[in-house]
Amino acid sequence: MIQTGQLKIDAIDLSFGGVTALHDISFNLEKPELLAIIGPNGAGKTCILNCISGFYHPQRGKISWDGRDITRMSPHAIAKLQLARTFQHITLYAGMNTVDNLMAARHIFMKQNILTGALYFGWAHDEEKAHRERVEEIIDFLEIGAIRKKMVGTLPYGQRKRVDLGRALALEPRVLLLDEPMAGMNVDEKEDIARFIIDVLETRKIPVIMVEHDMGVVMDIADRVIVLDFGNKIAEGPPSEIKVNQSVIKAYLGED
């Protein structure tokens, strides 16, 4: 079981030139739950994930993980802390197969040096075997055994999305950040991804922060919802409350 830590976002501001992307955003994640972040296009949803994962550094405020300030840490340093993410636009190695894409994510756990790796004996052999066993377990979990040896660049979009999720899981995340995991999918593909996300949360006890546009999916599977509008948090609560929140209806659902 994953040991859950506390992720705390405290009053962060992010701007680009004169444009404010996020203003005074605060929330905590400290237990296995699915926290969804929603809002109109340009509301700042992906900016939050980029700040947490180190791609953006807020000008004000603090982001901490297990009591450690990660506000200005690099993306690779944050990945080593096992905060893993997927991206809205898939960033897989198109010329590599599914297994190798997942193995690439295991690099943060690899201990052997260039010499032992090149000679491939003893510890290096045992280490790779252990990593491959972990990758095969993820392949079984995501039901992608049929494409394990296929080049990722040749796969249909929905299958590439599964591989992208698998690569994030290969980091053994203590928090999983998902950016539009169902974008561009048909109904069946969305149902499959939603099922895998729920299984990640319920069976592996990994907290999930998910940015998603599909309100139906969010209201069905989220435990808590944060709503952004023009970089400001306008609501936070369980889906049942968000559905009837008048500020959310006006900003997100387009009420006059």
pLDDT of 180-190, one tens digit each?
Answer: 999 888 999 99
pLDDT at 206: 94
pLDDT at 1: 45
Per the CB < 8 A criterion, the answer to whether 58 and 66 are in contact is: no
* pLDDT over 70 percentage in the chain: 89
Q: Chain-centre distance of CA 143, in angstroms?
A: 19
User: Alpha-carbon distance 246 to 253, whole Å?
Assistant: 10
pLDDT of 146-182, one tens digit each?
Answer: 999 999 999 999 999 999 999 999 999 999 999 999 9
Reference 135, options 100, 176, 83; nearest CA is 100
User: Alpha-carbon distance 148 to 34, whole Å?
Assistant: 28
User: Which two tokens mark 28?
Assistant: 């905590």
- All domains of the chain, ordered by start, with CATH? 1-82+173-256 (3.40.50.300), 93-171 (no CATH)
Q: Chain-centre distance of CA 115, in angstroms?
A: 34
Phi then psi for 173, rounded to 5 degrees? -65, 145
Length, in residues, of the chain: 256
Cα 224 to Cα 28, 49, 139, 213, 214, distances in angstroms = 11, 16, 29, 15, 15
pLDDT at 3: 52
User: Which two tokens mark 102?
Assistant: 């997942």
pLDDT at 141: 95
Residue showing tokens 């698998």: 166
The single-letter DSSP state of residue 35 is E
pLDDT at 2: 47
Phi then psi for 120, rounded to 5 degrees? 55, 65
User: Which two tokens mark 231?
Assistant: 């970089």
Low-confidence ranges of the chain (pLDDT < 50): 1-2, 114-115, 117, 119, 256
Cα 87 to Cα 28, 103, 146, 182, 222, distances in angstroms = 22, 18, 24, 11, 19
pLDDT at 255: 54
